[in-house]
Structure 1
Amino acid sequence: MCGITGITSFSPAGKVRLSKVKVSADTLFHRGPDGGNYFMDEVTALGHRRLSIIDTSSNGNQPMKDPTDRYVLIFNGEIFNYKQLKQQYFADKHDWQSQSDTEVLLHLYIKFKEQCLSLLGGFFALAIYDIQERELFLARDRYGKKPVYYHYSPEDFFAFASELKALQDYGIPQQLDKASLQQYLQLNYIPEPYSIFKEVKKLRPGHYMTIKAGKAEEHRYYELDWNHPNPSISYDAACARLEQLMDASVQGRMISDVPLGAFLSGGIDSSVVVALASRHTQQLNTFSIGYKDHPFFDETKYAQLVAQKYNTTHTVFSLTNNDFLEHIDAVMNSIDEPFADSSAIPVYILSKHTRGAVTVALSGDGGDEVFAGYNKHAAELRMRQRSFLNTLVKAGGPLWKVLPQSRSNKLTNLFRQLSRFAEGAKLDVKERYWRWAGFMTEEGAREMMKDEDDAKFKVEVQRRKEELLWRLDKGSNTLRQAPATAGRQGDSIEMEDFLATDMGLVLLSDMLVKVDRMSMANSLEVRSPFLDHTVVDFAFSLPTSYKIDRGMKKKIVQDTFRPYLPAELYNRPKHGFEIPLLDWFRKELKSKITDDLLNDRFVEEQGLFNVEEVRKLKQRLFSSNPGDAHATVWALMVFQHWWKRNTG
């Protein structure tokens, strides 16, 4: 795991920027504190910061050249099957300079060019420069676990970096993208491939780019095949196969020349990873975070049960309100563009404490998106089945709206969920997905912004929405009318569309961003066995009924690993990494909202947001029925903090 950056110039003005590569790489120091180096010729410069994981000697340093000095590689990530690939394709080669996956990757590219990408098992963002042809090759892993930002000026230069702030070091244009800002307000994150700046994009997952002589071309090398379930495999056989694939994925991700451990939240996914990892090591270090002042959010007792079952060396970081609050500025400073998933705060703290003991941590990320583990998945399935209860909940919409709603306790959270279900029942599946993906409606997000009613702007926002939701197009007008007895081919395949959309939106732009930024801010590498491509491809080959039914989310995962997990983990509410933002906003952080970041005068002078709508939002936050106001307030606070840092 590392940080990469680079620039290739197309003009004299572009060449002037080449020397900025050193500054850009230094900006990424936290991603690679173990070393850094640079390459530069007349037209291209590459920079690298190293977090040493495999072959920690200087032989694995980057940028790495091949023996002919024609190719130069910088690489962020891990290739877990590099030893197998080395043996398969280079059995007769004996002059290796290192024991690293980096060197194997470089020779695979020389041998196969872009076709090598389909051979790689792992996660990566990489750049390879052909000095002879003066061609830059840039690629990203299948699901976008490792980030790549880029700016392309056809007449001037092309620059890229692992984080936006490192890209800014090249002096790129920084005009705010208002369409991105509106979708950020709605979702609390910016959907890829867009960024907060108009002239900065993100390389799409499963894609590569070639850049030469002012021309940049993007190509796909991997696409999720989600629409062809294989009903021939029995459920028992599928469970057995899942265990095999997950075991192999976990074992492969335990390759490391530095200390390795695992996050253990007490949920099913992280517990599965710990159970499997315990097969392949005599002693596993596990780490959990607890909420000392808020028992409703604390799940450490379940993590303790798993730790005891597998005799791990378990550490619980039980934190008070003050522990969380003192890290908020550090979290916001670690965000390179506005990102407001508030669970980033506990992930940051967990990563910080974990890094004190290990350099690599396994996690359960991706399990919910791949195997249908969210409440919204159960709600969508229930929505498709006609029932008296559905009708009753839908009819009760006006009532749910006036009842107190918040995430702070079971009852008010139930009212919040009932209200969202009733609201979604009025929409087709495409609009319902979009509404449930966010905290605000499109109209609410647009009203929050100042002077953004022009038709051109609305068209662009709608175009991006359609681009994100294209997998839902074919079923958007039929699902509400589907009878309760609809067969799998008429119903479940369209549920797969729902899950595949999550892979390209929620997983890519929210979950993976959160884990990457917060872990790498603390120089910790996080590996996610559920996102091995063999596991993901297998999951999307299964009938939907194997993953979710009326009684169980993530069904095949729960059933497959039931013999290995404590019974107490089953049939309990799912919390995730939630934090008590509402309480903090009403107490410790109130002055930061009212007197600083969302102060009326500051908002008015800034000229981006409708001060009256911001004022209404604050009133709702401090009312007896805040709903999800805390999430939007947090989004605005994160943006304002970012804005101040970027505008001086």
Structure 2
Amino acid sequence: MCGITGILAFNLVGKFNKIHVTAATMSLEKRGPDYQDIYIDEWVGLGHRRLSIIDTSSVAHQPMWDESKRYCIVFNGEIFNYRELKKDLLDKGVTFFSQSDTEVLLKLYLHYGEQCLAKLNGFFAFCIYDKQQQTFFVARDRYGIKPLLYLYDDDKFIFASEMKTMLKYGIDRPLDYSSLHSYLQLNYIPAPDTIFTTVKKLLPGHYLKVGNKKLSEGKYYDIPYSSGEAESNPLSYDQAREKLKTLLEASVQRRLVADVPLGAFLSGGIDSSVVTALASKHKPDLHTFSIGFRDEKFFDETEYARLVAKQFNTEHTVFSLTNDDLYAHVSSILDYIDEPFADSSAINVYILSKETRKHATVALSGDGADELLGGYNKHAAFYSMAHPGLKENVVSALHPLWKVLPQSRNGAFSNKLRQAARFAEGARLSPAARYWRWASYATENGAYELFSAASQEKFHRQEYESRKQALMQTVPDHHTMNDILLTDMKVVLPNDMLTKVDLMSMANGLEVRVPFLDYEVVNFAFSLPSHYKINKSMRKRILQDAYRDVLPAKLYNRPKKGFEVPLLKWFRKEMRSLIMDDLLAQKKIEEQGIFNYAAIDKLKRQLFSSNPGDVHARIWGLIVFQWWRRRFEV
């Protein structure tokens, strides 16, 4: 696990940017605290920061060259099947000078070219430089577990693991108002776009070829799924359940390969408990880690985590936190975020990663299972829309009532009212519009109203609509639950969930591995009928049933809980001055000219009212944006 960056100049103007390679590489220090090196020639610069995981010796340092000194690689990630791939290459007469997966990847590319990507089981972002042809080959893993940003213009091609690294090259940074409009709804910016018009994200499962002043993009992987086809899978439920268990165990076993201490996140939910159960079979000394919330007992799941740890005899560590402990890390997290990203549960992931790093360099997690197998409230709501009963019809019919009743996430009853209002609102929309609304904290009009008059002029609605349509193309009018899950895999998972885990773990030099996103598991899951995954009474049905006789029974008799932080309380107390007198103060907003203060003032008044709804999430999005803008002088 590492941080990478590089530049390929096309002319003398582009060559000037090579002077920034060292500073750019240094900006990735937290991703790779163990070693740094750069390579620079007439037209190219490459930089690498290393977090040593497999073959920690110096011979595995990067940038790494093949013996001919023609090809060079900088690589961020892990190839879990590298030993099998290496054996295949050895049988073909290829020689090796290290025990690293980096060298296997480089020589696999030399042998198979871009076809090597289909052979990889792992997560990655990498660049291979052909010195003779003066070309780059850049690729990203199937699901976007590892990030890759790039800029391409008439003078140069630049890539990096992080936006802060891109900014070190002194690039132009005009705001992308279509991206900002999406961010004000979702609290993240979907790929391939970024907050700047000049920088893009390489899509998951894609690669780039760069050379001769040209850039071409290709796709090497897409989830093998066609709407409706999976509903008639020939496997019985029992057969599918057993096959899922076999694939998951193989996936976990692959992800135990490391030359450094390895553990597992254990929240007490089904997903992380399954990963722990499987990992403990093959690693008897498994160390597991949980965080608990002393001040928020409703969200504290450490009782269940301890049950799982005891059952599988892991060495278990609980980091018990107060709200003050959470709040103490807010500034550090905001400082690290280098593109507006406002999923507040990143605070929890940051602290869990920071504490885990004191004991391990690698951690397994249960991420991806909810998107893959239908674990969210949103999935239950979509199921209810497709199978409406009396309750759903009543909730939809009472839409005007829910709108005026007090809504908040901070109380059980007021949260039910909030959920009822969102359900009733979504019920009146087309499936694609419903998905977008339920994925958002603000309506499109609500986001647009936050723009100042000047920002509204810079906002290109047609561009925004085109981007949204591309993101929603996997939600047809006559959809199945698998269509919804596929959209989650393409939109929410890479742009929110995986971004959150990557950012917060890498901020602490911790590698997180996600067994549910092994491509064999994903491909199989999307071959299964929707009703194997979710029905009226159960989400992630096949996963829960597969491990019912393995996990503690108590895990099955409790509601699913979120991974939230007490934003509303902070905003009304500790952060009130930051909101009212600094970041969202009238003078600051009007001087910037990006936002409409009247709309922000309306949100602030709602924040301190008895009917806050989801306003805390919208305020958090604005705080993150304002902090980011000041931190990076945008």
Alignment of 1:80-229 (within 5 A): 80-91=80-91, 93=93, 95-153=95-153, 155-227=154-226, 228-229=229-230
TM alignment of 1:426-445, pairs within 5 A: 426-445=428-447
Specify every segment of 5 or more residues in structure 1 that has no aligned partner in the other structure, as ranges.
480-490
Q: Does 1:512 align with 2:498?
A: yes
Out of 269, 285, 288, the residue aligned to residue 283 of structure 1 is: 285
Post-superposition offset of 1:387: 1.8
Q: Which residue matches 1:25? A: 25
SS of aligned partner of 2:3: strand
Tell me which moved more, 93-102 or 290-299. Answer: 93-102
2:580 counterpart of 1:577: no
Report how many residues are paired: 630
C-alpha distance in 2, partners of 1:26/1:93? Answer: 38
Tell me the distance in 1 between the aligned counterparts of 2:425 and 2:285: 49
Structure 2 gap ranges (5+):
none
1:312 is matched with which residue? 314
Distance in 1 between residues matched to 2:430 and 2:392, nearest whole Å? 15
Answer yes or no: is the 8 Å Cα contact 2:284–2:314 preserved in 1: no
Return the offset for 1:571: 3.7
Tell me the residue number matched to 2:517. 531
**Structure 2 letter corresponding to 1:496:** N
User: Structure 1 stretch 214-223 or stretch 387-396: which is displaced more?
Assistant: 387-396
1:610 and 2:610 correspond: no
TM-score by length of 2: 0.98
* Aligned residue in 2 for 1:485: none
Task: Return the offset for 1:93.
Answer: 4.3
| 1:94 Cα deviation after fit | 7.4
**1:598 counterpart residue number:** 584
Residues 207-245 of structure 1, C-alpha deviations (whole Å, 9 max, x = no match):
100000110100000011222315200100101000000
Who is 2:301 aligned against? 299
1:231 and 2:238 equivalent? no
Aligned to 1:421: 423
Residues of 2 paired with 1:596 and 1:295: CA distance?
32
Shift of residue 408 of structure 1? 1.5
Of 463, 466, 490, the match for 1:463 = 466
Give the Å deviation of 1:89: 2.7
**Quick check: 195-204 or 570-579, which moved more?**
570-579
- Counterpart residue type for residue 406 of structure 1: S
CA distance in 2, matches of 1:421, 1:199: 38
Contact 2:177 2:458 (C-alpha < 8 Å) held by counterparts: no
Residue of 298, 322, 333 corresponding to 2:324:
322
| Residue 413 of structure 1: how far off its partner (Å) | 1.2
* AA matched with 1:339: F
Give me the whole-angstrom Cα distance separating, in 2, the residues matched to 1:158 and 1:416. Answer: 47
Residue identity matched to 2:170? G
- 1:326-364 deviations in whole A, cap 9, x for unaligned? 100101111110000000001000000000000000000
* Alpha-carbon offset, residue 551 of structure 1: 1.0
Q: 2:372 aligns with which of 370, 373, 384?
A: 370
Tell me the equivalent position of 1:488.
none
* 1:210 and 1:216 in contact (8 A); partners too: yes
Equivalent-residue separation in structure 1 for 2:507 and 2:516 (angstroms): 23
Task: Give a deviation string over 1:448-490, Cα, whole Å, max 9, x none.
Answer: 1112445971111111110111112xx32xx4xxxxxxxxxxx
1:482 paired residue number: none
Q: Shift of the alpha carbon at 1:97?
A: 1.2
Q: Point out the more displaced range, 618-627 or 595-604.
A: 595-604
Which whole-Å deviations, capped at 9, do the CAs of 1:408-436 have from their partners, x for residues lacking one?
22211111111111111111111100000
Q: Distance in 2 between matches of 1:212 and 1:455?
A: 33
Q: Deviations over 1:618-643 (max 9, x none)?
A: 00011001000000000000000001
In the alignment, what sits opposite 2:547? 561
Q: 1:384, CA displacement in angstroms?
A: 1.1
Q: Which residue of 2 aligns with 1:647?
A: 633
Counterpart Cα distance in 2 of 1:574 and 1:449? 36
For 2:84, give the aligned amino acid: Q
Report the alpha carbon displacement of residue 392 of structure 1 after superposing the two structures with TM: 0.5
Structure 1 counterpart of 2:53: 53
* Closer, same or farther: CA 455–526 of 1 in aligned 2, 3 Å: closer
Which residue, out of 549, 560, 584, partners 2:535?
549
Equivalent position to 2:412, from 407, 410, 413: 410
- Cα RMSD of the aligned pairs, angstroms, is 1.2
Equivalent residue letter for 1:292: R
What displacement does 1:256 show?
0.3
TM-score, scaled to structure 1: 0.96
**Aligned mates of 1:408, 1:278 — CA distance in 2:** 37
User: For the residues of structure 2 that align with 1:326 and 1:30, how far apart are their CA atoms?
Assistant: 20
Cα distance in 2 for partners of 1:557, 1:335 equals 34
Aligned counterparts of 2:253 and 2:263: Cα–Cα separation in 1: 13
Q: Which amino acid aligns with 2:419?
A: Q
Distance 1:453 1:40, change over 3 A: closer
Distance 1:27 1:185 in 2: 28
In 2, distance between residues paired with 1:456 and 1:324?
36
Query: Is the Cα–Cα contact under 8 Å of residues 192 and 509 in structure 1 kept in the other structure?
Result: yes
State the one-letter code of the partner of 1:463.
Answer: S
Contact 1:296 1:409 in 2 (8 A): no
* SS of aligned partner of 2:198: coil
C-alpha separation between the residues in 1 aligned to 2:543 and 2:411? 28
Amino acid aligned to 1:219: G
| Structure 1 residue 183, shift from structure 2 partner | 0.5
Larger CA deviation: 452-461 vs 390-399: 452-461
Once residues 305 and 456 of structure 1 are traced to their aligned partners in structure 2, the CA distance between those partners, rounded to angstroms, is 52
For 2:216, the aligned partner's letter is E
Q: Check the 8 A contact 1:226/1:497 in 2, yes or no.
A: no
1:274 to 255, 273, 276: 276
SS in structure 1 opposite 2:632? helix
Q: Which moved more, 1:447-456 or 1:386-395?
A: 447-456
Code of the aligned partner of 2:55: D
In 2, are the aligned partners of 1:364 and 1:529 still within 8 Å (CA)? yes
Task: Measure, in 2, the Cα distance between the counterparts of 1:530 and 1:576.
Answer: 19
Give the secondary-structure state (helix, strand or coil) at the position aligned to 1:361: strand
CA distance in 1, matches of 2:100, 2:368: 27
2: CA distance, partners of 1:361 / 1:112: 32
Structure 1 distance, partners of 2:571, 2:319, is 23
Distance 1:240 1:604, change over 3 A: same
What's the offset of the Cα at 1:496?
Answer: 1.6
String of CA shifts for 1:356-410, please: whole Å, max 9, x gaps. Answer: 0000000000000011111110110110123221110011212222222111222
The letter of the residue matching 2:485 is L
Find the aligned partners of 1:295 and 1:584 in 2 and give their Cα distance: 17
Contact 2:186 2:440 in 1 (8 A): yes
Q: Does the 8 Å contact 1:371/1:539 carry over to 2?
A: yes
3-state DSSP of counterpart to 1:30: coil
CA distance in 2, matches of 1:306, 1:603: 49
Opposite residue 194 of structure 2, the aligned amino acid is S
Separation in structure 2 between the aligned mates of residue 455 and residue 163 of structure 1, nearest angstrom: 26
